[in-house]
Amino acid sequence: MTDEELKELVGSLAVSQKETDRQLKETDEQIKKLSISQKETYMQLKETDRKLDKVANMISGIGTNQGDVAEDFFITVLLKIII
């Protein structure tokens, strides 16, 4: 291999290394953005879970309330029949 061929090879390797460095930097930036996005998604899911728990408690309360109403109705009707 001649000196000129070695210089061209080293030059092309330097260019390739710069491109690789640029791609790595770009990849690092994308990973940072994804990390931020993942944290935001986690917080949104946490808020969604909180809201779902609240809705579940509300629905549970409605069921309990309807049960109380049905029980009162049954007792009222039963007392009318007995008395």
pTM over 0.95: no
Write out the DSSP string of 13-56: HHHHHHHHHHHHHHHHHHHHHHHHHHHHHHHHHHHHHHHHHHHH
d(CA 29, CA 39): 16
SS3 state of residue 81: helix
Q: What tens-digit pLDDT sequence spans the chain (83 residues)? A: 898 888 888 889 999 999 999 999 999 999 999 999 999 999 999 999 999 999 998 888 777 778 788 888 888 888 888 87
